[in-house]
Chains A and B, each alone.
Chain A
Amino acid sequence: MSVQSTSLFQRQATGLVREAGTWSTLIYNINFVSIGLMMLFVLQLEPAFYPGGNMLVSYLMALAVVLPTSFVFAMFAAAMPRSGGDYVYVSRILGPRLGMMSSFINTVWWFIYGGVPSAFFARYGLGPLCRNVGIMSGNQALIDLGAWFVTPEGTIITGILLVTALVVAFSLGLHVYFRVQNALFVVAMVGLAVIGFVLLTGSNEQFQANLATYSGVPNAYQDVIDAATATGFTEAPFSWYWSLIPITWIYLELVFNQSSAYIGGEIKRASRIQLWSMPLTAVICVGVAMLLTWLFQQTIGTTFLGAVSWDAGATIGLSSAPTFSELAAYMSGSTIVAVIVGIGFVFWSYTWLPGQILNASRNLLAYSVDGVFPARFGSVNERYHTPVFSLVIVGLGSIAALIVYATNSDFTTLTGIVAFIVSFIIVSIAAILFPRRKRDVWAASPVAWTWGGLPVISIAGVVSLAALIVTLWVFLNDPLAGVFVLDGFTPHFTDESGALTKDSIRLLITIGTVLSGLVVFEVSRIIRARRGVRLEAAFEEIPVE
């Protein structure tokens, strides 16, 4: 390789690759933040169930609490580009037990959350697509198929097929899958652009007229509002509190902006693409979502958005609340638009799942290499170069979670994010202590900045920790999060009869998953010690002097 600059000369040696470009790094990260799902939850839930909430303010608040953690991950990725995530950061800085605890939280919930997007695939992706196209084209078979997709049976069967297809695709190698995924990502982004165009060129009158036509209800728009109001739907003046609480639904997607932490090059660079791509991803996703949300408010109306979700689509003959892509399709009056935006939304509906399966199987492989898990989990298929055993285990776990999620309403969407927050708290503490515990590594890194004499990564860690504590408080105060055990700062763990509430039980289960990593590590340590192996040695730093 030739000379790069007058500040760093490289010779011809293996492994000196060029960095991925800023744009491609951004795309990788945006892939993991489902803009579509983020908007879906906000548009369906906030105007309906958080009276006084302002969706645009919620987006900004969510961004404010996500960015510090994003910077922490970005700085770690710049300082330790080849390590591949929090498992190694935390293990090196805080020790293997906390490293395992932090990482295992993610692994457990990637297993469990395997059931969520695989259910969303039918519930929010294929079901609404078929229903919408069927209604707009007058095709009853498609309408019936759409209705079947959103039944528990349809959701489970479709989800199992999706998980199986992904596990098989990943077991055979990633190349074909990535080509398909990249193409679908383009379709999904085109879908959002089409929605933006439809909203920009459409009007409320046009929407009302088309809604009446497709639903067969002459005054559908007002009827929906009236029906919802009659059953308790209400609006309220702007409230900071009720704008803050629903950030849970935005945080659910936005926090996963750090996927490029896993694709660092061997030679640390000054360009710091890693550093900026993660927070920039969060900013871009929020920007796109805010723009489209504002357009929905301007054309369709916030009151209707809340009412139609509260009414769950009943007044206009639907079995569940319409997605925003269905509303945009109604406004366009075009079946072709319905197909484009519907297919685009299918991508958004399951976009987490591939990353979850890959990340969980990669973690199992890493635990195996470090001796925490049996060697079987680390075996790589010689023909396909993939960890088939781990992939199958993750796939089976995802299917089990799918069945529970689709059939049991006690499994709420947001619960596990509380566990992720604990993991991020541990990472933030590692960031605070990084310059003290690994001074040489920090001082020699491209993020060895100080501000007011303090290491910037430590400051970011403190801010991230504060933001995470606020977020945790928000989750525990959100009536829809599934872990609603606080009223402000007053705990309410039991109901009137003194029994633990379902929310409290879910919180206890979540705490159990947080501690499970410690248990796994200790059990493994004891087993390995009997064979003469010191598991603690796996991450002990050798003193240099």
Chain B
Amino acid sequence: MKKRLTLFYASDIHGSERVFRKFLRAAPHYRADAVVFGGDITGKALVPIVEVGPGRFRGELLGIAHDVDAGAGLDGLESKIRTNGFYPYRTTADEVARMSADPAYLRSVFSRVMAQTAERWVTLADEQLRAAGVPALMMPGNDDEPEVKRLLAQGEWIVDAEGRIVELEGYQVASYGYATTTPWHSPREVTEEAMAEALDALLAGIDPSRPVIFNFHDPPNDSGLDLAHKLTVDLRVQSGAGMPLLSSVGSRSVRAVIERVQPVLSLHGHIHESRASTRIGRTLAVNPGSVYGEGTLQGVLITLEAGKVVGHQFVSG
């Protein structure tokens, strides 16, 4: 076991190229020994850039129409779109009309764009993290299509850690990226019962005599790491007197296994607005939150010594 291990953990990058690139540089920047990614790598929205003439393109970003020429102008517009965590998509007016009218076709476009981006990112991560000599454990989250897991598994340096126990400098890291049911019916959701079964199966392989780290996308219920905006049935944030109402939406199964196994550290994401840490028994549980849409990488640095957490620091880089 390494005498002192500093981990950098982040999750919920959601397609923001700028934030992903920061993640790749986080270890040397913060002098961390390894990086762990907690899921949800793919974006949620796509901005069509329509070719309106030879070498001439038009895209609308946040209500502002942009007419640009191929080359630097187009690259700049795509960069702005990616900074917001959206996918730029070069297309035609006819295809935009089809995407509007045909949900199945829109899904296929999304899948293709997400896969292309994820594949490119895996290559980028392999190159940069290998060059820096930084071990990297990755996994998909509940918002990632199943295809993303296959692409992460193709990484030559990065490790798709989901669904197994991975050794990291003497620590056993158990990872699981699914979440319990949400109002949005995202691609990788399970019931509490299925979550409990999956975690039990995963943790059957740990050696109880050695320290364990959980890397579960879904945070534990009633932990302060799982406070999400309370929503109406039409998905509006419920507020009162100027403040959003919050409710606990984490997984009861995740909490149960933390209480039972008592890992030294439990890493979580999923609930972007619930940046917090807490103790559950002897376990330090953390959720660094996410503001990917602002081009900022939220993460947490955790220092471990002799099988124990000796310090942690939230960062916004």
- Show the binding face of A for B, using Cβ within 8 Å: 1-3, 6-21, 24, 28-29, 31-32, 79-83, 88, 91-92, 174-175, 177-179, 181-182, 185, 259-260, 262-263, 265-272, 354-355, 358, 369-371, 375, 378-383, 385, 438, 440-441, 443-446, 448-449, 528, 531-535, 537-545
Contact = CB atoms under 8 A, between A and B. Distances in A.
Sort A-B residue pairs by CB-CB distance and give the 7 closest, nearest first.
A178-B240, A270-B63, A380-B224, A446-B62, A7-B60, A259-B242, A542-B317
A209 B67 CA distance: 70
B276 interface: yes
B67 to A, nearest CB: 13
Interface residues of B, number: 82
A444 B83 contact: yes
A8 B80 contact: no
B63 A446 contact: yes
B251 interface: no
B297 interface: yes
Contacts of B18: 440, 544
Contacts of B293: 81-82, 266-268
A269 B44 contact: no
A266 B272 CA distance: 9
B46 A9 contact: yes
18 contacts: A3-B99, A9-B99, A13-B14, A14-B182, A178-B245, A262-B242, A262-B243, A263-B244, A269-B63, A270-B64, A272-B63, A370-B314, A385-B227, A385-B247, A532-B311, A540-B29, A540-B315, A542-B22
Q: Which of B46, B182, B241, B297 has the most CB of A within 10 A?
A: B241
B316 A380 contact: no
Nearest to A381: B224
B234 A11 contact: no
B209 interface: no
A379 B236 CA distance: 28
A83 B246 contact: no
Given A444-B61, A533-B313, A537-B30, A380 B276 contact: yes
A358 B277 CA distance: 20
A272 to B, nearest CB: 7
A174 B245 contact: yes
Given A6-B48, A544-B18, A20 B241 contact: no
B222 interface: yes
Interface string B226-267: 010101001111011111111110000000000000000000
A444 B80 contact: yes
B184 A12 contact: yes
B142 interface: yes
A256 to B, nearest CB: 10
A223 to B, nearest CB: 43
Contacts of A12: 184-187
Given A82-B273, A369-B275, A263 B316 contact: no
Interface string B167-189: 00000000000010010111100
Contacts of B229: 17
B149 interface: no
Contacts of A531: 311
Contacts of A535: 313
Contacts of A185: 241
Contacts of B29: 540, 542-543
Given A2-B103, A6-B96, A543-B25, 12 more contacts: A3-B100, A6-B100, A7-B47, A17-B235, A31-B242, A81-B294, A91-B316, A92-B316, A267-B45, A270-B64, A385-B247, A539-B316
A83 B245 CA distance: 17
Nearest to B23: A542
A419 B83 CA distance: 35
Contacts of A177: 240-241
Interface of chain B, main secondary structure: mixed
A82 B291 contact: yes
B249 to A, nearest CB: 10
A385 B243 contact: no
Contacts of B270: 14
B62 A358 contact: no
Interface of B: 14, 18, 21-22, 25-26, 29-30, 44-48, 59-64, 79-81, 83-84, 86, 96-97, 99-100, 103, 106-107, 110, 142-143, 179, 182, 184-187, 222-224, 227, 229, 231, 234-237, 239-248, 270, 272-273, 275-278, 291, 293-297, 301, 303, 311, 313-317
A369 B237 contact: no
Contacts of A385: 222, 224, 227, 246-248
A80 B294 contact: yes
Contact of A179 (B21, B44, B240, B242): B240
A266 B86 CA distance: 12
Given A13-B143, A178-B241, A369-B276, A3 B291 contact: no
B313 A82 contact: no
Contacts of B276: 369, 378, 380
A88 B296 CA distance: 11
A371 B243 CA distance: 24
A379 B186 contact: no
B222 A383 contact: yes
A178 B109 CA distance: 43
A12 B142 CA distance: 11
Nearest to A265: B237
Contacts of B182: 14
A13 B44 contact: yes
A14 B243 CA distance: 21
A31 B280 CA distance: 38
B45 A8 contact: yes
A337 B156 CA distance: 77
A264 to B, nearest CB: 9
A526 B270 CA distance: 33
Contacts of A11: 44-46, 106-107, 110
Q: Which of A272, A443, A542 has the most CB of B within 10 A?
A: A542
Contacts of B106: 3, 9, 11
Contact of A14 (B179, B245, B294): B179
Contacts of A260: 242
A400 to B, nearest CB: 25
Contact of A17 (B97, B236, B311): B236
A355 B86 contact: no
A31 B241 contact: yes
A535 B14 CA distance: 27
A182 B44 contact: no
Q: Which of B18, B44, B81 has the most CB of A within 10 A?
A: B44
A441 B63 CA distance: 16
Contacts of A21: 236
Given A542-B25, A544-B22, A441 B236 contact: no
Contacts of B313: 371, 528, 533-535, 537-538
Contacts of A268: 62, 84, 293
Given A24-B239, A182-B240, A371 B314 contact: yes
A29 B297 CA distance: 30
